């Protein structure tokens, strides 16, 4: 691999934490509160729970097929079962559910304003890198999978 083709991708959890930190900071600087309602609180915890369950399910599926969960690692197989039947990126989808849940618990509009930018950032840095790697490793099988399964859900 040539030096020019080596590209450092940010650790996905740090991307989500950076955006959440930015949303929290913005909410302290310019408060934009969500309407007060107990459903917001419960929806936040439900979103976090959905994210945690989806993340565990995805990690178990990766462990079952003995492939890496590390975005810097080399996958040993193309997963198409479990949550990978519905999303090519179920762990990032899980991270997004958790981010949204925390955003609801913060009771701020800022996480929602930053969410589209977060998704674009993830797609243009982490996900594109992973897709290129999967294309190199699995070729036509990955092309077929991409046509069948959406990136997020």
Contact 132, 68 (CB under 8 A): no
- Residue 123's pLDDT is 93
Please check the confidence at residue 149 and state whether its pLDDT lies above 80.
Answer: yes
Distance, CA of 130 to CA of 90 (rounded, Å): 13
> For the segment 19-62, what is each residue's pLDDT rounded down to a tens digit?
999 999 999 999 998 888 889 999 999 999 999 999 999 999 99
Strand partners, 108: 33
Contact 51, 97 (CB under 8 A): yes
Angle at 101 between CA 17 and CA 67, to 5 degrees: 60
């Amino acid at each position: 691999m040539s030096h020019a083709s080596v590209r450092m991708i940010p650790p996905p959890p740090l991307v989500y934490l950076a955006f959440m930190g930015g949303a929290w900071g913005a909410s302290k600087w310019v408060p934009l509160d969500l309407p007060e309602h107990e459903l917001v609180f419960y929806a936040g915890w439900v979103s976090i729970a959905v994210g945690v369950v989806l993340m565990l399910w995805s990690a178990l599926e990766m462990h079952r097929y003995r492939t890496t969960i590390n975005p810097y690692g080399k996958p040993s197989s193309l997963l198409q079962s479990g949550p990978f039947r519905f999303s090519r990126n179920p762990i990032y989808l899980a991270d997004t559910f958790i981010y949204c849940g925390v955003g609801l618990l913060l009771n701020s509009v800022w996480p929602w304003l930053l969410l589209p930018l977060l998704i674009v950032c993830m797609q243009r840095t982490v996900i594109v890198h992973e897709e290129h790697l999967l294309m190199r490793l699995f070729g036509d099988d990955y092309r077929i999978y991409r046509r069948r399964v959406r990136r997020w859900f």
